[in-house]
Amino acid sequence: MPETMQLANPAPITTLTEDEILFRDSVRQFADDKIRPLAKEMDEKAVFDHGLIDQFFKLGLMGIEIPEQYGGAGGKFFEAILAVEEFSRADASAGVIVDVQNTLVVNAILRWANEDQKKRYLPKMAADTVGAYALSEAGSGSDAFALQTKAELKGNEFVLNGRKLWITNGKEAGLFILFATVDASKGYKGITAFLIEKDFPGFTVGKKEDKLGIRASSTCELILEDCRVPKDNVLGEIGKGYKIAIETLNEGRIGIGAQMLGVARGAWECAAKYAQERVQFGKPISEFQGIQFQIAQMATEIEAARLMVYNAARMKDAGVNFVKEAAMTKLFTSQVADRVTSLAIEIYGGYGFTKDYPVEKYWRDAKIGKIYEGTSNMQLATIAKLVMGK
């Protein structure tokens, strides 16, 4: 690809340390060599290759922030974000598996679990156990705390009854952070987080959704019928589940931003390359100013999205408040991914509308960015409150 058609550097050197560049490049190479060749087949079959997940663990990418004392890589949140971006550039389903594992489940355990829980679960999550985050229900989406799953204390166990919907990694997960209410009369203050293993009595993974995009990533229903959970598996404190959910999702939104950034990059790279190969009126369409302007606009928006994602991740690692930046990042990157992937299809023309070419998948994968881990309207509501001081 001629230099004039390249995005300067997929991650500007001035924003990364030497170690981060090496890490990013190694993850990118793995994604190109191992994930990309399987992406189309996994999408068509709506099944993620389990052998890839095994490799994710072997590479240390499922426990990036887990301290070395628990068998993890002892890395930073920023490195997890780089991994999500590079995986999503090849396949958004791969990106979200690593994203949920690191930015939601591991992050929540690191912050809220007691030492016994960390010793029990973090080594497993670093070695071979996929995690899932179970908050949503049929009647509680954006209104997350309208959940109806109930937990009743009986002796040394909680007995849980209810159903969860749209749970990412549901099929592959061995450990679930699941939210239920111990006292509905207290509203959101009755919500409690539990660490639930897939083989706990009364716990079942139900229907797997047939989705528009990220089809290889499993999105499942969870069924709890007198599910017995040891009292020791309460995450944090009883009644503090709402706080765990809110604060963990703030971090997760940066992860979704990285996923959408990767999706947009992947689509842009395909479109820029195709524009130089497709000949119309005796010359490549990349020589027409209209196409050049579209590619330039896409590249500019991707660069802006990248800066927002990296800034929010740096703020998280620095321990400063990043709630506004996380909401802005998720809002903007999902918009960029939607626009860029749609334009990529148009640059391909009729070919872009077929499944023989990759851009239609990028567009389908991009759509979820405006929906999960807080819809765009919810992000706008959060941003409005923070910027207006209300």
How far is the C-alpha of 280 from the C-alpha of 4, rounded, in Å?
20
- Give which of 220, 197, 225 is closest to 209, Cα–Cα: 220
Active site residue 373: yes
Active-site option among 65, 79, 137, 373: 373
Residue 357 burial by Cβ neighbours in a 10 Å radius (0-12, 13-18, 19+): middle
The owner of tokens 């799953």 is 149
How far is the C-alpha of 163 from the C-alpha of 203, rounded, in Å?
10
Q: Give how far Cα 128 sits from Cα of 74, 83, 132, 153, Å.
A: 17, 18, 13, 31
Do residues 176 and 131 touch, judged by C-beta distance below 8 A? yes
- Give which of 286, 252, 284 is closest to 379, Cα–Cα: 252
Structure tokens at 159: 């007995």
**Active-site annotation, residues:** 373
